[in-house]
Chain A
Amino acid sequence: MKKIIELKNISKSFDDQVVLDHINLDIYDNEFITLLGPSGCGKTTTLRIIGGFETPDTGDVIFMGENINDLPPYKRNVNTVFQRYALFPHLNVFENVAFSLREKKMPKDEINRRVTEMLALVALKGFEKRAVTSLSGGQQQRVAIARALVNQPKVLLLDEPLAALDLKLRKDMQVELKNIQKATGITFVFVTHDQEEALSMSDTVVVMSEGQIQQIGTPVDIYNEPENAFVADFIGESNILDGVMLEDYKVRFAGHTFTCVDKGFSPREPVDVVVRPEDVDIVPEEKGMLRGIVTSVTFLGVHYEIIVDIGGFKWMIQTTDFCDVDEHIGLSIDPDAIHIMKKSKYSGMFGDYSSFSDEMDEIGEVEIEELGEIDLESESAHE
């Protein structure tokens, strides 16, 4: 495959705050690549550097073998679909799509032909004369895509384009975007914080955090073989535990020694262990490798989400079998369900499932008790 964009050693700071920290990334022709990470991880800045809206402090942006560090956006063969579309409100659908062609002073019939073709591609035939402000979110989205593609760029940059759409529409647009990418053969660089979106659409996923790339790989690799605790926690649900690699294929965690499929660690090396909630089997207590007490059960339709307390660590388990709260159960884990990761700076940052968000971790359980003490009767007697 041909490399189309190379980012070499890119750094960028805003007001002394490091946003990108020595990024290296290759983007290949005809690929759907997704930059994935929480807000503030530097994914949008990376996109804007490729688009030419930001200049990197250090490093080089190579486009088809040429350094384009100093090339302004209007001279780059790259187009962008902006976050909130950035359609020109004073122009109608046709004129929005024709914008770049008019800028190139293309003949009228050529413009007509290409705009019509593009609107057909995004299923907006017959909307030519409509004001963009009168369109629904999904329609505006299509206009933005058509406007960016009409120029036949080598690369299309998409900055969280689906964030403003509702869930069902978002799913439809995911399929459609993927189809458009296949039909046109244009490289798509897609930015999102939604891991599901990233996994379902991309050929390659780039997981970013704190200005650094954590992992580059196919969606399957990223999910099954996360590089470190951050990636494991960010992509899907996972129980992340401290463990020790006893020898090849033998790992000890949660007070039990397990057989695993990983090797190549030094003896007694401390490691992070990931077990996905759907990979844990519930067995009768006496048959379990681990034993614990169920602390909560949530019905989610396809399965139950069960929180199990094992020696003080709260595990999340997804199962179709029903358990009751306070039930004593046993857990069994297959060797290929255990994934071993080297220790990283993210080790220990992601705790167990006592709570889902960091915010609840901080608040703790105090407030709920306090609430109970308020005397509601005397308050209402005031009326």
Chain B
Amino acid sequence: MKRASKIYTALMMIFLFAPIAILLVFSFNEAKSLSVFSGFSLKWYRELFRDTETLKAVRNTLILAVAAALISTVMGTAAAVGMNKLRNKYLRTALDSLTNIPMINPDIITGISLMLMFVFVGRLFGAATSLNFGTMLISHITFCLPYVILQVLPKLQQMDKALPEAAMDLGCTPLRAFFKAELPEIMPGVITGMIMAFTLSLDDFVISYFTSGNGFQTLPIRIYNMTKKTVTPKMYALATIIFFVILTLLLISNLYDEEMVQKRREKKLNKKQAKEAKT
């Protein structure tokens, strides 16, 4: 990189990380002040771990994210397989457009639209509050599905179409052929899709805000409620913990990726050697 590039990149990184760094530093501040650092202390962390509401929200978020990721991955993978085989052009276009809607539409409209339907249907059945864990789960699955499909479809298109046919040729029923020949091939896409669904669900605030009942609070909603009033650095402590969790996860996945790259390189080398041995 040239010097100017380096300086520019550094400036951008400062822009990206300065706010986070400030949160980090002030989470260890002894005083409540947001501009003066008066001494190192862990008291906000202690307070955070005494905050049962926040802890409950963490648990809720994880339950919701795991459920939404699993269901949307299974349904989305199946849908991608079906869409990939679909020969009817009109049906295909219709499904594609429908799948694109939640990705293009602003979150606030997705949230409002689901909320309106839930409220309306709830009133039909005479329920006092129609928003609960169920409606939230439905909403999360709905906005995760397109991302799963978007990850799996290209893998299916890249895959040699003859692979499942080869499996059937060798005695597999179509279902077994899918699990034994097709699934291993598209697995990277399925896993990426699941991770995306999981993180999207973890991170979602807007859609959850409109579709959650009073009883079920996720972490983003809890943060929203916390920031409504004057904030104690307890929230900074929470942000710091989230930051380090993300950092660890990203590092692990990066290391994993690099290992894969390394393996692929070795494979290529093997191939080359095999070729050389032949000639």
Contacts and interface: CB of A to CB of B under 8 A. Distances in A.
Direct contact of A and B (CB under 8 A): yes
Interface in B172-217: 172-174, 176-177, 180-181, 184-185
Interface residues of A, number: 32
B1 interface: no
B171 A100 contact: yes
A134 interface: yes
A103 B167 CA distance: 10
B170 A86 contact: no
B271 A134 contact: yes
Contacts of B108: none
A90 interface: yes
Interface in A14-37: none
B275 interface: yes
B274 A104 contact: no
A84 B270 CA distance: 20
Contacts of A80: 165-166, 169
B257 to A, nearest CB: 18
A26 to B, nearest CB: 23
Interface string A131-158: 1011110110000000110010000000
Contacts of B274: 134-136, 139
A103 B165 contact: no
Contacts of A100: 170-171
Interface string B230-271: 000000000000000000000000000000000000010011
A84 B162 contact: yes
A74 interface: yes
Contact of A99 (B162, B167, B270): B167
Contacts of A89: 184-185
Interface residues of B, number: 25
A73 B168 contact: yes
B160 A84 contact: yes
Interface in A36-85: 51-53, 72-74, 78-80, 82-84
Given A73-B165, A100-B171, A148-B169, A86 B270 contact: no
Nearest to B170: A100
B271 A79 contact: no
A88 interface: yes
B278 interface: yes
B112 interface: no
B163 interface: yes
A127 to B, nearest CB: 9
Nearest to B177: A74
Contacts of B270: 130-131, 134
A83 B166 CA distance: 11
Contact of A103 (B170, B184, B275): B170
Contacts of A86: 160, 162-163, 165-166
Interface in A90-129: 90, 99-100, 103-104
Contacts of A88: 163, 166-167, 180-181, 184
A151 B275 CA distance: 29
Nearest to A99: B170
A80 B162 CA distance: 10
> Which among A72, A83, A88 has the greatest number of chain B C-beta atoms within 10 A?
A88
Contacts of B278: 136, 138-139
Contacts of A72: 168, 173-174
A134 B174 CA distance: 28
Given A90-B184, A135-B271, A82 B162 contact: yes
A139 to B, nearest CB: 7
B252 to A, nearest CB: 23
Contact of A74 (B160, B163, B173, B275): B173
B271 A136 contact: yes
A168 B170 CA distance: 30
B169 A73 contact: yes
A159 to B, nearest CB: 8
Nearest to A144: B166
Contacts of B185: 89-90
A74 B271 contact: no
Nearest to B173: A74
B174 to A, nearest CB: 8
Contacts of B172: 74, 103
Given A86-B166, A136-B278, A151-B171, 8 more contacts: A53-B168, A73-B169, A80-B165, A88-B181, A88-B184, A103-B176, A138-B278, A151-B170
Q: Which 5 A-B pairs have the closest CB atoms?
A: A86-B162, A100-B170, A134-B270, A86-B166, A90-B184
22 contacts: A51-B165, A72-B173, A74-B168, A74-B170, A74-B171, A74-B172, A74-B173, A74-B177, A79-B170, A80-B165, A82-B166, A83-B162, A86-B166, A87-B166, A88-B163, A88-B167, A90-B184, A103-B170, A103-B176, A133-B267, A135-B271, A147-B170
Interface of A: 51-53, 72-74, 78-80, 82-84, 86-90, 99-100, 103-104, 130-131, 133-136, 138-139, 147-148, 151
